[in-house]
Structure 1
Amino acid sequence: MMARSMWAVFCKELVDALRDRRTLLTVFLSSVAMGPLVLVLISTLVSDIEKRADARELTAVGLDQAPTLRNYLLRQTYTLQVAPPDYEKLLRESKLGDPVLVVPASFENDLARGEVPVVEIVTSSANQRAQSGVGRLSGLMAGFNREQGTLRLAVRGVSPGAMEVVEVDERDLANPASRAAQLTGMLPFFVLMAVLYGALNAALDTTAGERERGSLEPLLMNPAPRLALVVGKWGAVAAVGMLIAVLSSFSFLPGQWLLKSETLAAMFQYGLTEATAFLALLLPLAGALSALLMAIAIRCKSFKEAQANATVVVLVVSLLPMMTLFNQDGEKPWHLWVPALAQSTLMARVLKGEPINAWDLAVPAIGSVLLAGACLVFLARQFAKAAVR
């Protein structure tokens, strides 16, 4: 009897949830299209940076008065462009995408006399495109300094090696997946929010929505056990959230075909193993978030009131993953016990190619089960109170 009642309520609520156009639109936009869209945006950004780096263009003012520097830049296969007269205004308005090298008129004379000419690199920190080229331009000027210093030492009969006391080699311990995760680190956040927003409408409609329409009280008059009603409704909402989790996790697989950057495509390793790990983390969270949203909405008398109260959950879930950004000491053991934060932490670890053991998967699942259980007990009590009234 209990199982039949749960199944009947589950089927009815699931059909109602999928019949809602808002839910279907959320499922499509947040799960099917979000993965490829995010990957395309990231790939477009990386591809644009790579194209600008391959173009090897340099914008400068006053290079005609510095033939030595001009010759060095041309030998580095750079194409020299004259900056427009109002380059400072264009940089502030982000209409000029390259920093400007300003060479003083006395550059060549100062260089001949052995003095140190002052060269400016003009940029705007608010202009991200121009700011990204400052390091490249600074490296060019450092190379020019080394070349001139070597020539001066050679003229005086001093070996250039005398100025290099220590040779420094840089060794990067990060694997290609970890380097790609620096660009794709926002993917877990979008997946979490997709699951949350996917379950949001269904959770609010099956509780506060039915109370506002006046269909909740007749439902509670049925002889079905309260637990069957609660579990059936929760199962339908959780099924919607889990459906979005499945679609979101697997949407990155075909999304990789749209990557424009060959470098990012080579570093971003996301296959069936990573998608399965994402699912193992997201499915328990989808059930916990569904129960939490229903527990909040059951106390509300209207759908709008429930939406206002649910914004607290949305805010908390969106802020928890940011703790990993502000925490420079690495992840802590207690991070795995906090829902949403645990999933974000472990999904980031999956994208970096780091191993995840069974205990890492069990701890977030236990936390999600405890949260869902507490919310379902609360829902059952609220349904009993509503039936008494």
Structure 2
Amino acid sequence: MKIGIVGAGIGGLTLAALLRGKGYDVYVFEKKTHIEEVGAGLGIGDNVLQKLGGHDLAKGLKNEGQLLETMRVRDDKGQVLSDVTFSKETTNLALLRQSLVETIASYVDIKVIHFNREVTDIKVSETGVSLDFSSSPTEHFDLVVGADGLRSKIRQTVFPDSKVLYQGYTCFRGIVDDMSQIGQVAEEYWGKKGRFGIVPLLNGKAYWFATMNAKEKDVKYLHFNKPYLQAYFNHFPEKVRTVLDKQSETDILHHDIYDLKPLKSFVYQNRVVLIGDAAHATTPNMGQGAGQAMEDAIVLANVLNKYDVLQALKRYNQLRVKHTAKVIKRSRKIGKMAQKEGSLGIKMRNKFMRTIPNQLIARQTRFLYKTKSE
């Protein structure tokens, strides 16, 4: 079977790595000139590592990732709102986004990755799929996998009614050094003006993110540099101010936060299948964006190896559509709660979070571990 994968990001590369040596004729097309993932840090949960099983990629990720022990939420005065300790039986990692992509890419035969290949159109027939490119001849496949992200050309072509939704807040991110003192604890600070997160990485590094409610493409934040961020979060606890002090004047990323209206199917005419953000872009509030893309790839590779194509795509839909819709909705809900602005709403939220048992909070993510991989 000849398979074309559009997008050399987390999902596309994971799928290529897992299909390697399985007898498939795989081609990965990337519009950039090299493998690059824009972003700071991210999390990979035990739900992904379990599904990878004995594949060497799981070992590679553990070597690159910082083990996390605790997820703690505080208010903007430093008072603890929730404190969840991960089970010692699970492995939850934080790592640089670029390190994740490069680690996955190391398990892919470089010969199958074709750079500077931007897809301009996709045509589906009973006999196969053709991809048109901006600067190279049309190519034909038995199956095409759309792994081309939030603004997926593949998704918008086969599912033109799909909708990308702005979630009402914007986000700044960065990486800082000399933060070994934070240990293995990921923390967020929730305040009236926004929230600030600090997550440890290997070698004393940490990644941070800051979110604030804003209009889409709000001009107020387009040129928000380090001094603006320092002034904005000056009333937050010392640890937040320390992180921003350590941040360089450059290398601060800024993106508005979007997700995708849940799709009813990730498969089109049994010839095109979507994975990752192309299928179910979610807000980062559950730290599951990269993980769910990898899970898609794992499940798709497994079902293709186990069933014929029609059964495999049907099974993939059964396992992934409802599950990822739940992730989108749950993450969106967390974001709305975290981004509250009104004094009364914040007071009620904080009181609720202080009284709810941490074990109950931990249970809210257990559904992530209950999905099957084939």
Assess same fold via TM > 0.5: no
More strand by share: 2
- Category of TM-score, reference length = shorter chain: under 0.3
Provide TM-score, normalisation by structure 1: 0.24
TM-score (norm 2): 0.25
Q: Whose helix proportion is higher, 1 or 2?
A: 1
